[in-house]
Structure 1
Amino acid sequence: MRILLTGSSGWLGRFLAPMLRAAGHGVTGLDIAPGAETDIIGSVADRTLIDRLFAERGIEAVIHSGALHKPDIVRYPARSFIDVNVTGTLNLLEAAVAAGHDRFVMTSTTSLMISQAVRDEAGDAAVWLDEQSGPLEPRNIYGVTKLAAEGLCRVQQLEHGIGCTLLRTARFFPEDDDSDGSLPGQNLKANEFLHRRLTVEDAARAHLVALERTPPAQCEAYLLSAPTPFVRDEAEALKRDAAAVIVRHFPEAAELYARRGWQLPTSIGRVYDAGLAQRQMGFRCETDFAAILASLRADMAMPFIHDANYVSPAVRN
């Protein structure tokens, strides 16, 4: 298929575009910043540009991974988030419907599931998050606009029948966490594979699976994260003494962590359950916490990318 990939210069796009080409698809990369995988410099908010690309490139499907993200809140006003994340999504959906497409894949985010109450993690148990969690009350303009974009996908599916797959990705950014400096970056990322992280490679692979599977007759949202080893019945224990729960599942974990001078989490306040993606979409992340421990056991590099100095191309340019 001839694919329009938005956000092609971003962290996900630079992994996804080669994967799409290796699978035999033609890719037109669109981004506001130049990059190795970007053919066209421009914004999804520019409807004239979108229409021209569909006409000139014979676009047959869209993977919409371009967006303003949470770190952009300090750099852009709220209206820019609406222009890009909401109006830009509508531009792509309307162009896809007009072109007779049967599928539309959008990168969404678990951030839209994190209300202030979930963020505060004030309860006695870890919050278990899956596609049935709600009510959805995003706490910032990023989450609000991504939830609105999901709503636009649902409306277009209802009114025009285009199949939409919304991938609510957990964390896969390479840089340090700008809101948690309690542990070194690699240690923190390794811990998150228990409950709220996936590799960028797995995120890219999920988009390819979503594109190539039989187009759904509906609009479906899937949470994407490394498979958690925990079950709901462990929620209270995870909040109270996460390390003890982890060692029950992985008896070597404490010793392997100690070898590298790392710390297991003492408390886990939320868990992402990606089971629906496996059951319905046939997708499971290849890298999980067991893979982290295997790398520690073999004294090898981590199976995920950590780059404390990473800066997105949009910021650099």
Structure 2
Amino acid sequence: MRILLTGSSGWLGRFLAPMLRARGDVVIGLDVAPGIDTDVIGSVADRALIDRVFADYGIEAVIHGGALHKPDIARYPAQAFIHVNVTGTLNLLEAAAKAGHDRFVFTSTTSLMISTAIRNELADHAVWLDETSGPLEPRNIYGVTKLAAEQLCRLAQLESGLNCVMLRTSRFFPEDDDTHRDLSGENMKANELLHRRLTVEDAARAHIAALDRAPEIGFGSFIISAPTPFNRSECDELKRDAATVIARHFPDAPALYAAKGWELPKSVGRVYDAARAEQVLGFRCETDFNAVVEALRSGAALPFTHDSNYVSPKEVPGIA
């Protein structure tokens, strides 16, 4: 297939483009910033550019990973999120429908599922989140625009029959958290693999699975996150005493953490359940918290990337 990959210079794109090419697909990368996998420099909000790319490259499918993200809230006005995340998605959907495509994969986010109450962990239990959770009340412009883009995908499938699969990915960024700095970056990422993180490699593999299954699925949204070891019956205890729950599932985790100078979470406020992706999409993340424990036990490299110096290519001076 000749696939248009938006966000090709970004963190996901740099892993996804080579995977697609390795299996024989032709990848045409589009991004506002240059990169090794980017063929066209420009914005998805530019409809004339999108039309030219479709015509010039004979695009047959779209993986739409380009977006403004949560950390961009501090750098860009709300209108920029509308232009890129909403108008840009509409441009691509309309071009794909006009071209007669049978598949469209949209990189969404679990962030759109997080209300202010969930974000502030006001419940007396860990909130269990799956695709049936709602009502959806995103707490910021990032979540609002990604939810709007999902609805545009729904309309495209309804009105034109374009098969759309939306992947609500949990965290896979390599840099430090932009709001929580209580723990080291590696410690936090390891903890998050229990309930709200996946590796970028798994994120890329999920997009390929969605691309392949889209015609069969027709329309669907899926949480993409490392499989949690927890179950719903543990939600009360997870909020009160997460470390005890974790030790029950991974008896040597406390000692391994202590030896590294790490801390297990004392409380878990929410859990992403990715079971539907495994059942319907046929995708399961390869890396989970057990891989962290195995790495600590054997002294091997940690099974995820942490780069406190990572900067989005579009934020490099002179690029955007």
The normalised TM-score by structure 2 is 0.98
Is contact 2:157-2:163 (8 Å) kept? yes
Confirm whether residue 90 of structure 1 aligns to residue 90 of structure 2.
yes
Tell me which residue corresponds to 2:193.
193
**Deviations 1:244-285 (CA, angstroms, capped at 9, x unpaired):** 000111111101111111111010000000000000011000
The residue correspondences of 1:129-208 to structure 2 (distance < 5 A) are 129-208=129-208
CA-based RMSD of the aligned residues comes to 0.7
Measure, in 2, the Cα distance between the counterparts of 1:218 and 1:145: 22
CA-CA distance at 1:216 after TM superposition: 3.5
Is contact 1:112-1:138 (8 Å) kept? yes
**Deviations 1:108-160 (CA, angstroms, capped at 9, x unpaired):** 00010000011011111000001001000001100000000000000010011
Measure, in 1, the Cα distance between the counterparts of 2:247 and 2:139: 34
Measure, in 1, the Cα distance between the counterparts of 2:217 and 2:278: 18
Measure, in 2, the Cα distance between the counterparts of 1:160 and 1:263: 51
Measure, in 2, the Cα distance between the counterparts of 1:78 and 1:201: 30
Measure, in 1, the Cα distance between the counterparts of 2:94 and 2:301: 45
Q: What is the one-letter code of the residue matched to 1:33?
A: A
SS in 1 for 2:51: helix
Q: What is the one-letter code of the residue matched to 1:92?
A: L
SS in 1 for 2:123: coil
Confirm whether residue 271 of structure 1 aligns to residue 301 of structure 2.
no
SS in 2 for 1:227: coil
Tell me which residue corresponds to 2:18.
18
The residue correspondences of 1:281-296 to structure 2 (distance < 5 A) are 281-296=281-296
Measure, in 2, the Cα distance between the counterparts of 1:75 and 1:260: 36
Is contact 2:163-2:219 (8 Å) kept? yes
The residue correspondences of 1:15-54 to structure 2 (distance < 5 A) are 15-54=15-54
SS in 1 for 2:215: coil
Unaligned runs of 5+ in 2: none
> Which structure 1 residue ranges, 4+ long, deviate > 4 Å from structure 2?
none
Unaligned runs of 5+ in 1: none
CA-CA distance at 1:217 after TM superposition: 5.2
Is contact 1:161-1:217 (8 Å) kept? no
Tell me which residue corresponds to 1:241.
241
Measure, in 1, the Cα distance between the counterparts of 2:48 and 2:198: 36
Q: What is the one-letter code of the residue matched to 2:18?
A: P
**Deviations 1:46-71 (CA, angstroms, capped at 9, x unpaired):** 11111111111000000000000111
CA-CA distance at 1:218 after TM superposition: 3.1
Confirm whether residue 77 of structure 1 aligns to residue 77 of structure 2.
yes
Q: What is the one-letter code of the residue matched to 1:57?
A: Y
SS in 1 for 2:5: strand
SS in 1 for 2:136: coil
Measure, in 1, the Cα distance between the counterparts of 2:183 and 2:264: 10
Tell me which residue corresponds to 2:258.
258
Aligned length: 317
Q: What is the one-letter code of the residue matched to 2:250?
A: F
Is contact 2:65-2:106 (8 Å) kept? yes
**Deviations 1:49-96 (CA, angstroms, capped at 9, x unpaired):** 111111110000000000001111111111110011000000000000
The residue correspondences of 1:276-315 to structure 2 (distance < 5 A) are 276-315=276-315
Measure, in 2, the Cα distance between the counterparts of 1:69 and 1:123: 26
Is contact 1:168-1:223 (8 Å) kept? yes
Measure, in 1, the Cα distance between the counterparts of 2:8 and 2:197: 21
CA-CA distance at 1:214 after TM superposition: 5.2
Is contact 1:6-1:30 (8 Å) kept? yes
Q: What is the one-letter code of the residue matched to 2:45?
A: A
Is contact 1:5-1:64 (8 Å) kept? yes
Q: What is the one-letter code of the residue matched to 1:60?
A: E
Tell me which residue corresponds to 1:226.
226
Measure, in 1, the Cα distance between the counterparts of 2:52 and 2:211: 23
Q: What is the one-letter code of the residue matched to 1:51?
A: D
CA-CA distance at 1:41 after TM superposition: 0.2
Is contact 1:164-1:216 (8 Å) kept? no
Aligned sequence identity (%):
71
Mark the CA change 1:125 to 1:155 in structure 2 (over 3 Å): closer, same or farther: same
SS in 1 for 2:15: helix
